[in-house]
Structure 1
Amino acid sequence: MAVKEGEHLLPLLPLRGLIVFPTMVLHLDVGREKSVQALEKAMVDDENMILLATQKELQIEVPTEEDIYEIGTIAKIRQMLKLPNGTIRVLVEGLKRARIKGYANTDDCYFVTYEELPEREEEGLDTDALMRAVLDHFEQYLRLSKKLSPETYSVVADIGEPGRLADVIASHLPLKVADKQTILETLDVQARLEKLLSLIHNEKEVLELEKKISSRVKKQMEKTQKEYYLREQMKAIQKELGEKEGRMAEVEELRDKLINLKAPEQIKQKIDKEIDRLEKVPTSSAEGGVIRTYIEWLLELPWLNETEDDLSLKKAEKVLNEDHYGLEKIKERVLEYLAVQQMTRKLKGPILCLAGPPGVGKTSLAKSIARALNRNFVRISLGGVRDEAEIRGHRRTYVGAMPGRIIQGMKQAGSINPVFLLDEIDKMSMDFRGDPSAALLEVLDANQNYAFSDHYIEIPYDLSKVMFITTANAVHNIPRPLLDRMEVLYISGYTEIEKEEIAKSHLIPKQLKEHGLTKENMQIQSGAILKLIRNYTREAGVRNLERGIGRLCRKAVKILVSGTKKKVIVTPKNLETFMGPERFRYGRAEESDQVGVATGLAWTETGGDTLSVEVSLLPGKGKLTLTGKLGDVMKESAQAAFSYIRSRAEELNIDPSFYEKQDIHIHVPEGAIPKDGPSAGITMATALVSALTGIPVSRFVAMTGEITLRGRVLPIGGLKEKTLSAHRAGIKHVILPRENEKDLQDIPKSVQKDLQFTPVEHMDEVLRLALVRDPYAREES
């Protein structure tokens, strides 16, 4: 920019966070390169003059013309000193106000053209009054502030020029840069004094508020110290009085609860005695907390609280039928209990054990029983429990002692006659901490549990009115003495018809509700449900079936939300598009009669299953090989079957010396799954005879039973589960031991209608029924 004639140039020094007023002398530390250049340019001049203007934003490192205030102060450099760290310390004296008219050069440093701004002073009473008011407020400010020395006032009070007075006072106040700049830019002295008066007044109010806050904090601290002192005095007084008053409120609260407690008199006396002990224990003693916890447990336990049983047989039957389909024996047992209760009005709670595979509804049935009886329901899981203290509780001498799960469950129930479910009782184990199953013997004995002893409570607790229900997948895992105390009710599993009805009545409505669907926008046809049961699930219960229905609902929700369709109908034809390829075969036992392959029936913890036994003959010297991860019992059954066939070789038209010429390999497929049990004997014998005689085994026949060396067929267990698995697999004919004929009454009628049952006593009968032709018949020459 060209400099006009008569205009003067001055180097500019931009200031950060600082305002320099006229007549003000102070030190500045300068470090920025352009600022250092400006100082050096100023020092070249004889007068050492420089223009000081403040940046609008503190953080800007290289300010532009727009970043610097227009009005600043012309100052004279009195002294300049270079410091070791590279910065320059300069002493400046403010002289006059000036306005920047333009920037001449900004390459090396800031050069500006300027005009001086004279002050507009008006002498008069108004100005004198303003000066006195400013001085008065400034004096008050100094009294409140601890940052400025009292001598400052005497220096300021001697200033007679109103403009200079305003500038000096403004320089001493901790104002914002914008407020100080406003004072600098105000040329009218009277207006400047008025603005300064307002700013001093604000600062004074801030200081007064700070003083109030400080005073309040001080008082609070004094109050805290006073309370601490009084508490210490109170402790000393309480110590002299035996601490009684220190526990008074706590003890009174516990005594009020004791008055309202429904409990036998001896229990109340015990609690009262413990409250007396608590009174005498010092507040600082840890024993007080232990005693209080113990008293609270005794006060919160139900001692005499009893819910009234709803003994209506019709209502109970309705509730059980609403919640569960089938399970007639279980429902009948609950109704018998209610009938006896109606007749006698007193009966010790029965101890039922619901045994069966996962997913058949054992836990939900226990909830339904509680609902039918109108009793409170409580459940604890015993899976993985291996510490006796989990049942009986810990002795109070231990840190963190608490009652066992039985007493905890009773507190949760809130009554002395709940339905108490002990879930997964067959999953308990034992270790060095004791045997929890032994601790349950007292709980589940109707002649002992009227005075159950918990190590923590130490008072006999009456469990005789509790209706205990236990659940287990496998009864053989439950210790015999514990099993002897329970009435076992087997839930074997559901037939296809039952599963279909359960899906329609319970599972589909439940899943539709959970997924926000209704019958109007989602429908699953009966054929699709049946196909889902047959081809996508293989289980005794309905848990996987419910998962499958849930998956269909999720697919339907996705379709409806995307707007593709307004209603989703699942049919047997489109089921595969929702569920993917079929997972299981159904209705195809074997596609043809085969030699050396027989179908057996097995019991597992998840229900019944079909089991193929394959026999292969190889040239050799009579070696018997067994594969398929068989247990010891099945290996012994195979040896017995082998010995029986050797003893009957001539009658069966088998070369008596076959074992000297051939090796025999017996294999049960799915070798990764452990298999054991006594019911595969006749199946292995049949497969062996078929292989040795070359007569195929009928593909529609399945069998179960143990074999003796003389060919007798011994009884087995789990006939219902095995029969249901045969029905699922499409078997038409089931061979079973004669002694198991009585168990056929447990088989659902719908299954009996589809299957032919033949009880047998000897292996000869089995062979004649299972093989496609009689192995004992002599060929005519």
Structure 2
Amino acid sequence: MEQQENVRQLPLLPLRGVLVFPYMVIHLDVGRDRSVAAIDEAMINDREIFLTMQKEAQTDEPNEEDIYTTGTVAEIKQLLKLPGGTIRVLVEGVARARIKHYLEKEPYIKVEIELQPESNEKSVEIEALMRSLVDKFERYVKMSKKVSPETVVSVVTIEEPERLADVIASHLSLKLTDKQRVLEAVDVSERLELLCNLLANEMEILELERKINMRVRKQMEKTQKEYYLREQMKAIQKELGDKDDRAAEVEELREKIEKARLPKEVKEKALKEVDRLDKMPPMVAEATVVRNYLDWLVALPWSKQTKDRLDIELAEKILNEDHYGLKEVKDRILEYLAIRKLAKKLKGPIICFVGPPGVGKTSLAKSIARSLNRKFIRMSLGGVRDEAEIRGHRRTYVGAMPGRVMQGLRQAGSRNPVFLMDEIDKMSMDFRGDPSSALLEVLDPEQNHTFSDHYIENSFDLSQVLFITTANVQYNIPRPLLDRMEIIYIGGYTEHEKVKIAEKHLLKKQLDEHGLEDKQLDISENALRKMIREYTRESGVRNLERTIATVCRKAARDIVAGKSDRVLVSAGNLEKYLGIPQYRFGVAEKEDVVGVTTGLAWTQVGGEVLSVEATVLKGKGGLTLTGKLGDVMKESAQASFSYVRSKAADLGIKENFHETSDIHIHVPEGAIPKDGPSAGITMATALASSLSGKAVRKDVAMTGEITLRGRVLPVGGIKEKLLAAHRAGVKTVILPRDNKRQLEEVPTNVKRKLNFVLVEHMDEVLAEALVNDAH
């Protein structure tokens, strides 16, 4: 009988987005047909209806699987029909129940339910859970402020654990799934514990929300306070007749623009940007961008330029003071000055100094600026691989800046400086663009009067700038850039020039840097010459300067230690200061030798004297080449071998020597790579000497390329090679006839001590080089 009392058949009302607990009174709006029919059926009977929640609120016609099985039996207290067919009902939860069977689905859902038994027995554990739950609920109410304090009073007075749990659950703002878990918890202790956990989580979230709100409120209060104070300050300044900082800044910018003598279109752009700045709120990030842009526009020398000093005699004097030799370079600068004096609107030429390190390319550019009385700007292009380095960044980027060209002009404060672009052969490129292509607009005289920087956005006239570029080698300069330049090659200094440079410039500079006086250190000319020959091997004078610095340091130590008041350095005691010589100074052979010929070679550090050795061995006609030779020298050796074979009869050599003998050609110092077309006639002479048994004259050196027919072709580096021959004590130099015009570049004191033999054919070389008497 008791079992039968717990089972009932009631109409079911599925709820969407709401859950009803026992002891809970709530209004529900009912509109679906089956739900309205269920309400009507309940009103006919005992006003009892079963309320349970849908799993998905969007489902309009829920089936069995869409509805939770545990719900609440409720009593309809009041019913009100609204316009549109909707019914508003007031229901009160009575008891928990669980669906056993679905009996009908039309016209309403009818289910058989089983009421869940209630237990109001109190144990010590339940009492503890109730106290904990009430305590947490009181704190929750204080923190959330969503539940009225009167509710807390009514809840505290409840003594039944079942009712306490359901009343508190009905007042909490929990997820519907969590509320359903509470409803499904039949055991009262389990329900109380679950509610305690849910309340603890909710309070933790509320505490975090409170902290966030406090932080936001403080920030808002600070901003509002600052705004209020700023407005007060503006009002006070207005009453006093003072301008605020913003207005004063805008006014100052307008004055700067008026004084800057900007071109018309640039001035219009600048004033437009000032107007934009004036309308912007003060704390906007873009205001800083506009300010920086205006600073750059005003600071660039749009119309400022220095007056050229067109005194040719003074300019020549300055150039000679700063540099010894370099006649061609100095002449080119004086020509530019002369034309500038006659033609007022000469475009700045693009000069490129090409030469080995240490020959004075950079310092020469400084001397040009000094002689012209112009500002000097240096920009190193070594390793530059970003186009923006030249053309600048667009203003849309964070941290945008103008390119290095515009930065240099701002630094100079003049639109016609001497602008040195150093190491133009060492530029690279990557995904950020090709800087050499960006340089075309800078260095092309036909384009650079309208150079456009991405940041400045207005054309700037670079035609008055004297651009000077430097490079170590010409072949690394991009071809389009090379086409816009006037190449001036600085090949290096002669030994005599190095001695004079050391005496006039380097020694004095190093004495000053080391705190020495002229009377405290004396380096003789022979000592300088020995430094140049045996301690340095270069085209320039950079290592020579370091060597002199080493001597100065040793001398300074001796003077400070009290060993001597005056240090005298001569060729005899130089090793005491610099140690063992690092290089062997090239000397000619001491006697006529068979199969050994003296050749002349060009290197990046100047001319060199090379010995080429050839020897004949028993064999089957093999040709061996050693000495780390490059492809060009190997081909020259093959051509020499073929020529000697073709001339075997004329040279008194067995015509079948190539069948019975092996030939070995060797160029000493095998660790050093050697290549180039200069050794053709040298190898042919060594071969002819070795095969014929005729010695080569010890005082003869030679250079030139050979063809299979024996013609002698011209080669390069004549000046450096003749200087090397002069140093080695050679008397006669054999040169291709086509190189005659290069002899004008050789210093007169060197030409006087050498005998030149100009040849067109190999026969002339052998006639001059070989000693007629066999050894």
1:640 aligns with 2:635: no
CA shift digits 1:332-385 (9 cap, x unpaired): 111111111111222111211122222111111111111011000111112222
Cα distance between partner residues in 2 of 1:637 and 1:696:
22
The correspondence for 1:233, drawn from 228, 231, 248, is 228
Aligned to 2:768: 769
Q: Which amino acid aligns with 1:642?
A: F
Match of 2:727, SS state, is: helix
Aligned to 1:629: 628
Find the counterpart in structure 2 of residue 551 from structure 1. Answer: 550
Aligned to 2:465: 466
Kindly provide the amino acid, as one letter, of the partner of residue 323 in structure 1: D
Q: Tell me, in whole angstroms, the C-alpha distance in 2 between the residues paired with 1:351 and 1:483.
A: 10
Q: State the alpha-carbon separation in 2 of the partners of residues 736 and 375 from structure 1.
A: 45
> 1:699-748 CA distances to partner (integer Å, 9 max, x unpaired)?
33222222222111122222212222222333322222211101111111
2:351 aligned counterpart, secondary structure: strand
Aligned-partner Cα distance in 2 for 1:738–1:418: 45
Structure 1 residues 540-689: aligned runs within 5 Å:
540-586=539-585, 588-689=587-688
Contact 1:587–1:731 at 8 Å: present in 2 too?
Answer: no
CA contact (8 A) 1:706 1:714 kept: yes
Indicate the larger mover: 413-422 or 714-723.
Answer: 714-723
| CA distance in 2: counterparts of 1:668 and 1:506, whole angstroms | 38
Structure 1 residue aligned with 2:523: 524
Distance 1:599 1:285 in 2: 78
Letter in 2 for 1:523: D
Q: Is the 8 A contact 1:363 1:423 kept in 2?
A: yes
CA deviations over 1:267-326 (Å, ceiling 9, x no partner) = 111222223333344444433333333322222221111100111111111111111111
3-state secondary structure, aligned to 1:773: strand
Task: Judge conservation of contact 1:380–1:421 (CA < 8 Å) in 2.
Answer: yes
Structure 1 residues 602 and 760 mapped into 2: Cα distance closer, same or farther (>3 Å)?
same
- Which residue identity lines up with residue 314 of structure 2 in the other structure? K
The letter of the residue matching 1:233 is Y
2: CA distance, partners of 1:655 / 1:712 = 23
CA contact (8 A) 1:767 1:774 kept: no
**Pairs within 5 Å for 1:196-595:** 229-233=224-228, 247-586=246-585, 588-595=587-594
8 A contact 1:363–1:471 mirrored in 2: yes
Q: Which residue of 2 aligns with 1:714?
A: 713
Residue aligning to 1:109 = none
Name the aligned partner's letter for residue 658 of structure 1.
F
1:764/1:566 CA distance change after superposition, 3 Å:
same
SS of the residue aligned with 1:502?
helix
Q: Which range moves more in the overlay, 545-554 or 661-670?
A: 661-670
Give, as a single letter, the amino acid of the residue that structure 2 aligns with 1:735.
Answer: I
Contact 1:599 1:612 in 2 (8 A): yes
Give the conservation status (yes or no) of the 8 Å contact 1:306–1:416: yes
* d(CA) in 1 for partners of 2:441, 2:600: 38
Counterpart AA for 2:452: S
* 8 Å contact kept, 2:353–2:471: yes
**What corresponds to 1:199 in structure 2?**
none
1:175-190 to 2 correspondence within 5 Å? none
The SS at the match of 1:375 is coil
Gaps of 5+ in 2: 1-218, 235-242
1:164-179 pair list within 5 angstroms? none
Q: Which amino acid aligns with 1:292?
A: R
CA 1:668–1:460: 2 relative to 1, 3 Å:
farther
Distance 1:372 1:767 in 2: 52
1:703 aligns with 702
Q: Taking structure 1 as reference, are residues 254 and 655 closer, same or farther at Cα in structure 2, changes over 3 Å only?
A: farther
CA distance in structure 2 between the aligned counterparts of 1:700 and 1:481, rounded to whole angstroms: 46
In 1: Cα distance, 2:636 partner to 2:453 partner: 48
SS at match of 1:520: helix
Distance 1:603 1:255, change over 3 A: farther
For residue 568 of structure 2, give the secondary structure of its aligned residue in structure 1.
strand
Give the Cα–Cα distance (whole angstroms) in 2 for the partners of residues 597 and 312 of structure 1.
56
Write the letter of the residue equivalent to 2:270: I
Give distance in 2, aligned partners of 1:685 and 1:529. Answer: 38
> Aligned partners of 1:438 and 1:227: how far apart in 2?
52
Name the aligned partner's letter for residue 753 of structure 1.
Answer: R
Distance 1:282 1:692 in 2: 95
Q: After alignment, is 320-329 or 599-608 more displaced?
A: 599-608
* Cα distance change of structure 1 residues 620 and 430 upon mapping to structure 2, 3 Å threshold: farther
Q: Is 2:594–2:695's contact at 8 Å kept on the other side of the alignment?
A: yes
| Distance in structure 1 (CA, Å) of the matches to 2:676 and 2:591 | 28
539-548 vs 367-376, which deviates more? 539-548
Say if 1:312 and 1:586 are closer, same or farther in 2 by CA, change over 3 A.
Answer: same
Aligned position for 1:725: 724
Residue 692 of structure 1 corresponds to: 691
What is the Cα deviation at residue 517 of structure 1? 0.9
Q: Is the 8 A contact 2:586 2:608 kept in 1?
A: no
Does the CA-based 8 Å contact 1:613-1:687 persist in structure 2? Answer: yes
The 1-side partners of 2:597 and 2:434 are apart by 44
Alpha-carbon contact 2:389-2:435 (below 8 Å) kept: yes
- More deviation, 601-610/484-493: 601-610
Once the two structures are superposed, residues 426-475 of structure 1 have per-residue CA deviations (whole angstroms, 9 ceiling, x without a partner) of: 22233343332232222222122111222332222211111111112222
Question: Would the aligned equivalents of 1:238 and 1:246 in 2 still touch at CA under 8 Å?
Answer: no
Distance 1:669 1:414, change over 3 A: farther
Alignment coverage as a number of residue pairs: 549
Cα distance change, pair 670–341 in 1 and its aligned pair in 2 (3 A): same
The answer as to whether partners of 2:537 and 2:605 remain within 8 angstroms in 1 is no
Amino acid at match of 1:596: G
Q: TM-score, normalised by structure 2?
A: 0.67
**Aligned residue runs from structure 1 range 15-26, under 5 A:** none
Judged with a 3 Å threshold, the aligned counterparts in structure 2 of structure 1 residues 682 and 259 are, in CA distance, closer, same or farther, namely: same
Partner of 1:123: none
User: Structure 2 vs 1, CA of residues 253 and 721 (structure 1 numbering), >3 Å: closer, same or farther?
Assistant: farther
1:226 Cα shift?
Answer: 9.5
* Structure 2 CA distance for partners of 1:372 and 1:726, relative to 1, 3 Å: same
Partner of 1:205: none
* Distance change in 2, residues 1:434/1:757 (3 Å): farther
Give the residue type in structure 1 aligned to 2:385: R
Deviation at 1:516, TM superposition (A): 0.9
Contact 1:473/1:606 (<8 A) preserved? no
Q: CA shift at 1:228, angstroms?
A: 5.7
CA separation of 1:693/1:237 partners in 2, compared to 1, >3 Å: closer, same or farther? farther
- Closer/same/farther in 2, CA of residues 250 and 674 from structure 1, 3 Å limit: farther
Three-state SS of the structure 2 residue aligned to 1:618 is: strand
Query: In structure 1, what is the Cα distance between the partners aligned to 2:427 and 2:380?
Result: 10
Q: Distance in 2 between matches of 1:589 and 1:249?
A: 82
Q: Which residue does the alignment assign to 1:754?
A: 753
Name stretches of at least 5 consecutive residues in structure 1 with no aligned partner. Answer: 1-223
Shift of 1:563: 0.9
